[in-house]
Amino acid sequence: MSTKTVKAFGTDAANADLKQMSIERREPTARDVEIEILYCGVCHSDLHTARNDWGGTIYPSVPGHEIVGRVTNVGSEVSKFKVGDMAAIGCLVDSCRTCDSCKKDLEQYCLNGMVGTYNGKDKHLGGHTFGGYSQKVVVVEDFVLRVPENLDLSAVAPLLCAGITTWSPLRHWNVGVGTKVAVVGLGGLGHMAIKLAKGLGADVTLFSRTPSKAKDAVALGANTVIISTDENQMQSVKGKFDLIIDTVPYVHDINPYVTTLNINGTLVLVGYLGGLEPILNTVPMILGRKSVAGSVIGGIAETQEMLDFCGQNNIVSEIEIIKMQDINAAYERLLKSDVK
């Protein structure tokens, strides 16, 4: 298969800074779409992968899975896109397409392993996939998304990860007008959860340990802010919520939040991978038919639904634009939580 060389930013080792490098992209085949990348979000997952925090990173690593750009070439069998269109790529670029999950538009749960936008198995060139910290990307048409024309392209990029990661549980648990939703944590995921839940008509509460975030939360659409370290405030919402979206990315105690669930309520973890401490107390779960669940991104159809919804409701992420050359400084800021 013929290839072309493009510029990228990546790293050769877990302890090395990101630097400019060259990578190979395939020339578009019959069903491929080639996209010139205009913006790429910086996700905490990028940092974890670059530094091999989760293990399994294949080097050289080029992160980036929140991609927005302009179509520059299409294969002969492509029907959904034409040169000049705005398009987006999220966290996955392929899947087996044949398993039960894929047949249900749940490619993110592909039983044979979905192909990540970076650090995935490259079915075309062999080796592994490279992400959006680069000039161009080539992806099969079925995994390319349409971008609403009325939205700020730069602010659309994080919708491809933070947006869909919170949209998917909101849709799965049928959030709508009158649903009582709480969000734990006001970061990239949390602020999108508030915006999207509010857009769906829910009554939205933010749980936070930081009183200073209350003003921002209300501006984003939260009806109420509960300081999770205040026992009286926590008691005031006991048994209230139909759904809690927990976006906290580190080990934390979820037991206090479980007690704030309504009968049949669910707390869904979207921000943390790993064991929970202290141990989960099942008493309120059993006595109130409450659930603790997990969720990850969404399939292509659901991601397109989210983008269309955002277009209809003028919802985008709150962003700060940086130059690609400043990525290492941005990673250090992420580690220090020095990003609003």
Per-10-residue mean pLDDT for the chain, 340 residues long? 96 98 98 98 96 96 98 98 98 98 98 98 96 98 97 98 98 98 96 98 96 95 97 98 96 97 98 91 97 98 98 97 97 90
The predicted structure's pLDDT at residue 339: 87
- Domain enclosing residue 230, as ranges: 162-294
Q: Is the pTM of this model over 0.95?
A: yes
122 lies in the same domain as 182: no
Helix (H) or strand (E) holding 26: strand 19-26
Tally of domains within the chain:
2
**pLDDT at residue 205, as a whole number:** 98
- Does 75 fall in a domain? yes
Length of the chain, in residues: 340
Same domain, 58 and 205: no
Q: Helix, strand or coil for residue 310?
A: helix
Q: Is 325 exposed, middle or buried (0-12, 13-18, 19+ CB in 10 A)?
A: exposed
CATH number at residue 261: 3.40.50.720
Which pLDDT score, from 0 to 100, does residue 200 have?
98
Q: Does 60 lie in the same domain as 80?
A: yes
Are 155 and 13 members of one domain?
yes
- Of 261, 279, 294, the residue at which a domain comes to its end is 294
299 found inside a domain? no
- My answer on whether 15 and 131 are in the same domain is yes
- Residue 312 located in a structural domain: no
CATH of the domain at 76: 3.90.180.10
Are both 117 and 49 inside the same structural domain?
Answer: yes
Q: Same domain for 182 and 138? A: no
Spatial contact of 192 and 200, defined as CB atoms under 8 Å apart:
no
User: Is residue 132 within 8 Å of residue 66, measured between CB atoms?
Assistant: yes
Q: Are residues 145 and 166 in the same domain?
A: no
The per-residue pLDDT for 143 is 98
| One domain for residues 142 and 190 | no
For residue 100, being part of any structural domain is answered with yes
Residue 113 within any structural domain of the chain? yes
Do 96 and 174 belong to one domain?
no
Residue 183 lies in a domain: yes
Domain presence at residue 309: no
Q: Residue 289 domain-assigned?
A: yes
CB 103 within 8 A of CB 95: no
Same domain, 155 and 255: no
Q: Are residues 29 and 135 in the same domain?
A: yes
Q: pLDDT value at position 340? A: 79
Give the pairing type, strands 180-184 and 203-208.
parallel
